[in-house]
Amino acid sequence: MSDRIAVIGAGQMGNGIAHVCAVAGHDVVMIDVSQAALDKGKGTIEKNLDRQVKKGALDEAAKAATLSRITTTTTMDAIASAAFVIEAATENVELKHKIFADMDRVAPAGAILATNTSSISITEIAGRVKRPESVIGMHFMNPVPVMQLVEVIRGLVTSDDVTARTVALAKGVGKTPVEVNDYPGFVANRILMPMINEAVYCVMEGVGTPEAIDQVMKLGMNHPMGPLTLADFIGLDTCLAILEVMHKGLGDPKYRPCPLLRKYVAQGWLGKKSGRGFYTY
């Protein structure tokens, strides 16, 4: 089998994952339902590679070679030649089931079926496909080219071989994998999202302005960025979806999404990607 990687979804995460895989020498096909998302994703990769060239981390030849390794398409058929499929589409459980059904149908035997989901149960996704032992969580952090961590999440029946190959891929693209177990939100978002949600409650209740709240956490806790700025970067729709999964999956009211977060998402204020969230971009 080739070492070709298919990345499904060309949004903020998908294009970042395609970027780091192609820099590391893999052929990558990026798949999205939207041609506009593919064009934007490829444009973002080019911009981020330029930034790496300016910093001296890459040279022009490496940039050109990286871009030549990335193709894009709107059809799932491209999965047929991939050894590794990484799903990074919108955080919605029904959508993930639909995409995994396609992955199960099209991917060659032995291929790894990974998901970059932030919170949805790996076992639940795996439970609907014919090869659940091949399904694994590979949770990259945003922005992918910069952040070191990949949370590797085993479902109930994920095989040792699939886990070992996923850990090896993460290391091969320059990341540090950390293995965790499959519970809603895993570790990163189980701890991060309650903090972001509490910061949104502080805005709603008038405890402080977004600027004041972010400054308290930056200056007082030494966080590199405040929780509301971070929420805008993650995407408020994604934050809401993660909180919903944790609330439903863990059943504890402490995970209930703040009504102000729901209101912003309903209005289309999704953070940086839509130009407006807690801040204006």
Is 48 part of the annotated catalytic residue set?
Answer: no
Strands ordered across the beta sheet of 5-8: 70-73, 28-31, 5-8, 84-87, 112-115, 135-140, 149-154, 176-180
Following DSSP, what letter does each residue of 85-104 receive, concatenated? EEE---S-HHHHHHHHHHHH
User: Site for ligand NAD (CB under 6 A): which residue of 18, 37, 86, 261?
Assistant: 37
- Shortest Å, Cβ 116 to ligand NAD: 4
User: Site for ligand NAD (CB under 6 A): which residue of 20, 70, 86, 91?
Assistant: 91
Stretch that binds ligand NAD, among 106-114, 126-134, 139-147, 217-225 (CB under 6 A): 139-147
- Shortest Å, Cβ 264 to ligand NAD: 15
User: Site for ligand NAD (CB under 6 A): which residue of 5, 22, 32, 258?
Assistant: 32
Amino acid identity, residue 264? Y
Is 142 part of the annotated catalytic residue set?
Answer: no
Residue 114 forms beta bridges with which residues?
86, 136
Query: Tokens representing 175?
Result: 């990341």
- Residue for token digits 């909180």? 243
Return the number of the residue (33 or 216) whose C-beta is nearest ligand NAD.
33
Stretch that binds ligand NAD, among 113-121, 157-165, 176-184, 210-218 (CB under 6 A): 113-121
Is 118 part of the annotated catalytic residue set?
Answer: yes
Rounded Cα gap, residues 144 and 138, in angstroms: 12
User: Site for ligand NAD (CB under 6 A): which residue of 95, 157, 178, 216?
Assistant: 95
- Shortest Å, Cβ 59 to ligand NAD: 28
Rounded Cα gap, residues 202 and 183, in angstroms: 27
Catalytic one of 151, 197, 244, 247: 151
Is 46 part of the annotated catalytic residue set?
Answer: no
Nearest residue to the partner ligand NAD, using Cβ = 11
Binding-site size, ligand NAD (CB under 6 A): 28
Rounded Cα gap, residues 86 and 59, in angstroms: 27
User: Site for ligand NAD (CB under 6 A): which residue of 4, 5, 6, 9?
Assistant: 9
Rounded Cα gap, residues 266 and 274, in angstroms: 13
Stretch that binds ligand NAD, among 4-12, 103-111, 207-215, 243-251 (CB under 6 A): 4-12
Report the largest interatomic distance among the alpha carbons of the chain, rounded to a whole angstrom.
57
Helices of type H across the chain: 12-23, 35-54, 60-68, 93-106, 122-126, 160-172, 188-204, 210-221, 227-234, 236-250, 259-266
Catalytic one of 121, 139, 197, 247: 139
- Counting every residue written for the chain, the total comes to 281
Q: Is the Cβ–Cβ distance between 7 and 138 less than 8 Å? A: no
User: Site for ligand NAD (CB under 6 A): which residue of 13, 23, 135, 196?
Assistant: 13
> Which residues, numbered 191-250, are part of the site for ligand NAD (CB under 6 A)?
234-235, 238
Q: Is the Cβ–Cβ distance between 243 and 255 less than 8 Å? A: yes
Stretch that binds ligand NAD, among 26-34, 106-114, 179-187, 205-213 (CB under 6 A): 26-34
Residues marked active site are found at 118, 139, 151, 189
> Using CB under 6 A as the criterion, which residues of the chain lie in contact with ligand NAD when the complex forms?
8-14, 31-34, 37, 88-91, 95, 99, 116-118, 139-140, 142, 234-235, 238, 273
